[in-house]
Structure 1
């Protein structure tokens, strides 16, 4: 009768994302320190939005594991009217302490730092700054993941393709949340 108990425990762990089942991104330790020219929970400067230059802010990353082979950045807005809106995805970023401001909006970037970029929900490659409907404050999550590998996916890939490739390779992560509201 009790032989089903271990199976039930394993099923519950898989279902909750604690083991297997693609839950690696959320179960990896949140040990990366992520910062920028704005503080966590504060407003993103207009320069980095659709109302300004629409360039990415610099992203500062600390406490990167020596085991990290590459970094991934995903920027999204969970407050978007139609559901979470992806503003930027980039991968195969060297495990360095800074992603510079104004990364070129091309699939394969050589300078100022090498990386591969995918398609955002504006339908473009590279960073697309905050541009919420007028009136409400939106929260922009700048999530950085350290991976134990580099990824073999092409420039212009989608967020789903990126997340699928990341499965099982995230060793740590961190995030910075910025706010933006249009008048």
Structure 2
């Protein structure tokens, strides 16, 4: 079976519930994953919006999630497990979808990485570029789940 990520509360490619956005509670959704490859020693997660007007916007950066973990509960808070980076809102932890008001919707990709080492050596608050550098050559597999969100007029 393939390495798989499921984001609870919406089907892959469908709309993210309001409670998980800036228009609701801005609470992270629950995640579950399975079938990571042999040799996985930790996981890393990136949630990003490639449709942001300023270019890709990073909403959530997590790494050093222990290999025995296969889920994160909804409303995950930094410091619970693993390490959290600074999102593009300038905060550690989850920053929910918050596209500009207007027609259409943005895509939000949750990408989970199976990593070959238990720790990447990054301090809490590291940014996306730091995480990308630390992951280089360390990813055994990755899986992705996509949700959409739009704010109308």
Q: TM-score range by the shorter chain?
A: over 0.9
SS in 1 for 2:83: strand
Indicate the structure (1 or 2) with the bigger Cα radius of gyration.
1
Corresponding residue for residue 20 of structure 2: 48
SS in 2 for 1:34: strand
Aligned residues: 147
Corresponding residue for residue 8 of structure 1: none
List aligned pairs for 1:78-157, cutoff 5 A: 78-95=50-67, 96-104=69-77, 106=78, 109-110=79-80, 114-135=81-102, 136-149=104-117, 150-157=119-126
CA distance in 2, matches of 1:126, 1:39: 23
Question: How does the TM-score come out when normalised to structure 2?
Answer: 0.92
SS in 1 for 2:131: helix
> Which structure 1 residue ranges, 4+ long, deviate > 3 Å from structure 2?
none
- Once the two structures are TM-superposed, the CA of residue 45 in structure 1 deviates from its matched residue by 0.6
CA distance in 2, matches of 1:99, 1:172: 19
Q: Which runs of 5+ in 2 are unaligned?
A: none
SS in 2 for 1:172: strand
Question: How does the TM-score come out when normalised to structure 1?
Answer: 0.78
Decide which structure has greater helix share. 1
CA distance in 1, matches of 2:4, 2:84: 22
Alignment equivalent of 2:131, drawn from 156, 159, 162: 162
Decide which structure has greater strand share. 2
SS in 2 for 1:41: coil
- Once the two structures are TM-superposed, the CA of residue 44 in structure 1 deviates from its matched residue by 0.4
CA distance in 2, matches of 1:146, 1:99: 15
Corresponding residue for residue 58 of structure 1: 30
- Single out whichever of 123-132 and 87-96 deviates more from structure 2: 87-96
CA distance in 2, matches of 1:83, 1:50: 19
- CA-atom RMSD, angstroms? 1.0
CA distance in 2, matches of 1:82, 1:59: 27
